[in-house]
């Protein structure tokens, strides 16, 4: 057993345990029950996605039901994250032991309401968002999950039941020695020294006990915090410097993000206060008893520095006023828009409209922060020397500062003795984001050399090799990963892609099926299976695979597009239309979907609808040659010969050897009486590698000569 059980603590400290069990921390994670899973009176309609969600009782348990058109899914609710003081999130544990966050959440505001969980209020809510160990680390006690189960690349799996709620050890450390000392009749001081009492720690260490979970500089993709690569999730122990386990980062000063207010920003905001900077007298425990006992007064601590006699004679001062109500106001958080929290930054006057309702924002890539990521010190202690490596990692981890960050990280990793495998993997991903697969291969190869028994390192290397065009080397890397873990579905799926690209379609089908059997949630493998079955002419099998994929994720644009093309090729325009339009709804700026839709409409003799889609494709991607050729053909068939000529000439300026463009332009010129011009283009088309285009060009050439 990793730590003494919290129940053992309660034997000697029943009063503390009873009060703590009623706090938000004590109720932060629990098994689903009638006490913590409210059922929906009626299905909740999510307008952005068009889906309906409900939480219903089934036997002794509860299910989360999602419905959208013909796709539906019922997942059992196994666990509840959140005390219910402000919100509850419902979790499903799949057969692999992974915890899946479900889309519909419950919020305490307005007497209790249902709404989408943060990040789910979009046109495509995630259906398989997995809870990782770092997420769980601030919502639960220490699990008995091994030293670092995520290091091998298996992801966070909870095969044993997780603990239920934050417990004593998170703030007091392991109580085993303490309990043994007390049981053995040790001296009082020996008993006390065998346990961490945050009240007896230096101010910085005391505050960091709370900050381990309540200091989040931002929830945005910055990053706000990086766990040390040599420390496992849950590795921080009360009493040690927080920088032993984590490095923190923030937006650069002057970026306009200084006043952000987010749900886990209590310690961050408090440290912006003059009160907190005045010698350590103002701390979390000034107002909060971690064990949950009610305070006699929240005003007395303020009056100890701001005597009532010296307060300005303004409305609200005196008469038993509560200082925090004005100077630490309640506000709606920016990242969890259905939750209202206390702003822990002490301020003279609060801005208006702090409780106004807001919509969840999903910033476009162009709106994401791009700039310097600056270190943030959780205490006044100097940062350790290795902080410079993590500062370089922070520049590129979420692509905030790629151009400047890559050379910084390379400099930090220079020398054989420097750099853990994870840092090299971060560099590899940075090079991938910079579209330099050659450099990514070098970095991932070094990561694999430093951690040769890691599935994740081998898989990362394989992906980079594949992007670099080295398919056989990539296959070797994926086979090495499978030598470490034969059940790694992601590596089997990648091998299926390699087989497919090499024309080994039946082998690709076999591997895609294996990947799906190992991980039914791996939608890319389901999509690959459908695409390869279609290549083999098994239209029924392909359709089943695509529909099964949409059963897992009905918001996958690529699967909708693939299914639409399949149905369209079989003449099912009405069925194909629904899936084309869904693909376009989900990725409206992706021109190939509109082009494929236009082709299907043209084949179905819907020329005007086809022209509208082709025009959209050209507008989105002016260099899309095939879309211009198709648009030219549609103009020509509609008698708009001048418009057809312009599109086809534009296509040939982009690609002078496009046989179909030459053929169609020749036909347009022939229709306008320019037989010589038509002949030149027919001659060019007759030399094309496409035998059908060449044949039609030769026949047309005979007619104009």
Mean pLDDT over 508-515 rounds to 98
User: Are 349 and 212 in the same domain?
Assistant: yes
Verify that 266 and 212 share a domain, yes or no: yes
Residue 675 has pLDDT above 70, yes or no: yes
The answer as to whether 95 is a domain residue is yes
Q: In this structure, is residue 470 part of a structural domain?
A: no
pLDDT at 242 over 70: yes
Q: What pLDDT sits at residue 157? A: 83
Q: Count of domains in the chain?
A: 2
User: Given this model, what pLDDT does residue 116 score?
Assistant: 97
Neighbours of 253 (CB within 10 A): 9
Q: What is the pTM of this model?
A: 0.90
- The predicted structure's pLDDT at residue 148: 41
Do 285 and 209 share a structural domain? yes
Bond preceding residue 223 cis, omega within 30 of 0: yes
What is the end-to-end Cα distance of the chain in Å, rounded?
91
Average pLDDT value for residue range 429-458: 96
Q: Which of 332, 353, 376 finishes a domain?
A: 376
Residue at token pair 């080994």? 504
DSSP class of 258: T
Distance CA 114, CA 539 (A): 41
Determine the structural domain holding residue 236 and report its residue range. Answer: 198-306+323-376
Kindly state the percentage of the chain with pLDDT values over 70: 95
Same structural domain for residues 253 and 115?
no
- pLDDT single digits (tens) 119-160: 999 999 999 999 988 888 888 888 765 434 444 445 688 878
Mean pLDDT in residue range 70-93:
95
Higher pLDDT among residues 235 and 395, named by residue: 395
* pLDDT value at residue 155: 67
How much is the pLDDT for 151? Answer: 44
The residue behind tokens 């601030």 is 138
pLDDT in the model for residue 4: 56
Q: Which pLDDT band, with edges at 50, 70 and 90, does 240 fall under?
A: very high
The answer to whether 395 touches 249, Cβ cutoff 8 Å, is no
| 45 or 303: which leads in pLDDT | 45
Specify the pLDDT at position 74.
96
pLDDT tens by residue, 351-399: 889 999 998 888 777 788 999 999 999 888 888 989 999 999 999 999 9
156 shares a domain with 42: yes
Q: Is 567 within a domain?
A: no
Residue 161 has pLDDT above 90, yes or no: no
Task: Tell me the C-alpha distance between 141 and 160, whole Å.
Answer: 14
Token digits for 703?
Answer: 């007619």
In the structure, what pLDDT confidence band is assigned to residue 274 with cuts at 50, 70 and 90? confident
User: Residue 152's pLDDT is what?
Assistant: 41
Structure tokens at 54: 């409900």
Taking only the tens place, the pLDDT of each residue in 298-352 is: 787 888 888 877 777 666 676 556 788 888 999 999 999 999 999 999 988 888 8
DSSP 3-state assignment of 204?
helix
Q: Are 628 and 650 in contact (CB under 8 A)?
A: yes
Instruction: Average the pLDDT over each of 46-55, 275-284, 598-607, 613-622 and give the range with the smallest value.
Output: 275-284
Place of tokens 């939608």: 523
**Residue 126 belongs to a domain:** yes
Beta-carbon count within 10 A of 589 CB = 10
Question: Do 161 and 45 share a structural domain?
Answer: yes
My answer on whether 219 and 111 are in the same domain is no
Which of residues 357, 376, 395 is at a domain's end?
Answer: 376
DSSP state, residue 213: H
Whether residue 79 sits in one domain with residue 124: yes
Same domain, 282 and 355: yes
- The pLDDT, as a whole number, for residue 64 is 98
Q: Do both 244 and 296 map to the same domain?
A: yes
Instruction: Indicate whether 153 belongs to any domain.
Output: yes
Q: Is residue 471's pLDDT more than 70?
A: yes
Instruction: Band the pLDDT of 287: cuts 50, 70, 90.
Output: confident
The more confident residue out of 11 and 493 is: 493
- pLDDT confidence of residue 405: 97
- Single out the residue in 166, 188, 214 at which a domain terminates: 166
Residue, of 292 and 33, whose pLDDT is higher:
33
Tokens describing residue 94: 């799949």
Whether 147 and 86 map to the same domain: the answer is: yes
Q: Which of 36-50, 379-393, 680-694 has the highest mean pLDDT?
A: 36-50
Give the residue with greater pLDDT, 234 vs 425: 425
Average pLDDT over residues 653-668: 95
Q: What torsion, rounded to 10 degrees, do the Cα atoms 142, 147, 151, 155 define?
A: -40
Q: What is the rounded average pLDDT of the residues 558-571?
A: 95
Same domain, 144 and 221: no
- Predicted local distance difference test score (pLDDT) of residue 198: 92
Q: Which residue reads 């305490």 in tokens? A: 108
**Between 703 and 525, whose confidence is greater?**
525
Asked, for residue 623, whether it belongs to a domain, the answer is no
Mean pLDDT score of the chain, rounded to an integer? 91
Residue 590 lies in a domain: no
Give domain status of residue 316, yes or no.
no
Q: Is the pLDDT of residue 296 over 70?
A: no
* Bridge partner list, 246: 227
Per-residue pLDDT, averaged over 1-20, amounts to 78
Lowest mean pLDDT among 211-220, 264-273, 276-285: 276-285
User: Quick check: 619 pLDDT over 90?
Assistant: yes
Long-range (24+ apart) CB contacts under 8 A made by 520-525 are 520/95, 520/552, 521/94, 521/128, 521/552, 522/489, 522/490, 522/493, 523/128, 523/549, 523/552, 523/553, 523/556, 523/559, 524/493, 525/489, 525/492, 525/493, 525/496
């Amino acid at each position: 057993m990793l730590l003494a059980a919290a129940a053992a603590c309660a034997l000697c400290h029943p009063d503390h345990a009873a009060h703590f069990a009623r706090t938000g921390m004590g109720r932060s994670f629990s098994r689903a029950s009638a006490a913590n899973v409210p059922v929906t009176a009626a299905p909740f309609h999510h307008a952005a996605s068009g889906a309906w969600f409900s939480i219903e009782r089934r036997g002794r348990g509860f299910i989360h039901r999602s419905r959208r058109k013909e796709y539906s899914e019922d997942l059992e609710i196994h666990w509840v994250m959140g005390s219910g003081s402000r919100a509850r999130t419902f979790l499903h544990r799949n057969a692999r032991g992974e915890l899946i966050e479900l889309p519909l959440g419950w919020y305490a505001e307005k007497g209790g309401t249902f709404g989408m969980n943060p990040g789910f209020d979009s046109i495509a809510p995630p259906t398989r968002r997995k809870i990782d160990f770092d997420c769980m680390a601030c919502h639960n006690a220490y699990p008995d999950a091994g030293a670092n189960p995520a290091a091998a690349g298996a992801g966070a799996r909870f095969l044993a039941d997780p603990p239920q709620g934050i417990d004593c050890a998170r703030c007091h450390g392991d109580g085993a020695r303490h309990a043994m000392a007390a049981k053995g009749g040790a001296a009082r001081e020996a008993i006390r020294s065998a346990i961490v009492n945050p009240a007896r720690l230096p101010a910085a260490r005391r505050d960091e006990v709370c900050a381990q979970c309540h200091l989040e500089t931002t929830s945005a993709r910055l990053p706000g915090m990086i766990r040390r690569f040599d420390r496992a999730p849950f590795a921080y122990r009360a009493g040690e410097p927080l920088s032993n386990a984590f490095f923190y980062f923030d937006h650069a000063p002057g970026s306009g993000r200084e006043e952000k207010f987010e749900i886990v920003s209590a310690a961050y905001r408090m440290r912006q206060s003059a009160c907190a900077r005045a010698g350590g007298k103002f701390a979390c425990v000034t107002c909060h008893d971690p064990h949950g006992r009610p305070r006699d007064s929240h005003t007395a601590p303020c009056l100890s520095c701001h005597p009532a006699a010296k307060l300005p004679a303004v409305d609200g001062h005196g008469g038993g006023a509560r200082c925090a109500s004005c100077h630490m106001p309640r506000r709606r958080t920016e990242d969890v828009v259905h939750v209202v929290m206390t702003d822990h930054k002490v301020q003279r006057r609060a801005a208006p409209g702090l409780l106004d309702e807001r919509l969840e924002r999903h910033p476009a890539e162009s709106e994401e922060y791009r700039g310097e990521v600056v270190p943030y010190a959780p205490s006044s202690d100097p940062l350790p020397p290795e902080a410079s490596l993590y500062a370089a990692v922070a520049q590129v981890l979420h692509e905030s500062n790629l151009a400047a960050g890559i050379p910084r990280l390379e400099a930090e990793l220079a020398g054989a003795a420097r750099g853990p495998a994870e840092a090299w993997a971060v560099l590899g991903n940075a090079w991938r984001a910079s579209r330099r697969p050659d450099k990514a291969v070098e970095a991932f190869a070094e990561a694999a050399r430093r951690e040769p028994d890691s599935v994740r390192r081998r898989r990362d290397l394989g992906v980079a090799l594949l992007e670099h065009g080295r398919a056989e080397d990539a296959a070797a890397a994926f086979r090495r990963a499978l030598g470490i873990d034969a059940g790694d579905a992601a590596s089997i799926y990648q091998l299926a892609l390699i087989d497919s690209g090499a024309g080994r379609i039946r082998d690709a089908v076999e591997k895609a099926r294996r990947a799906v059997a190992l991980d039914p949630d791996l939608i890319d493998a389901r999509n690959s299976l459908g695409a390869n079955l279609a290549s083999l002419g098994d239209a029924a099998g392909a359709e089943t695979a695509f529909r099964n994929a949409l059963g897992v994720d009905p918001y996958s644009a690529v699967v909708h597009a693939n299914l639409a093309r399949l149905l369209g090729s079989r003449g099912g325009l009405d069925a194909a239309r629904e899936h084309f339009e869904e693909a376009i709804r989900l990725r409206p700026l992706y021109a190939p979907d509109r082009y494929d839709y236009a082709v299907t409409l043209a084949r179905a003799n819907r020329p005007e609808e086809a022209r509208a889609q082709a025009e959209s494709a050209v507008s989105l991607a002016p260099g899309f040659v095939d879309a211009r050729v198709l648009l030219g053909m549609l103009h020509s068939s509609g008698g708009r010969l001048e418009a057809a000529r312009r599109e086809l000439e534009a296509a040939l300026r982009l690609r002078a050897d496009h046989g179909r463009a030459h053929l169609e332009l020749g036909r347009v010129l022939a229709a306008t009486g320019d037989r010589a011009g038509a002949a030149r283009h027919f001659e060019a088309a007759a030399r094309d590698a496409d035998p059908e285009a060449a044949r039609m060009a030769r026949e047309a050439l005979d007619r104009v000569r």
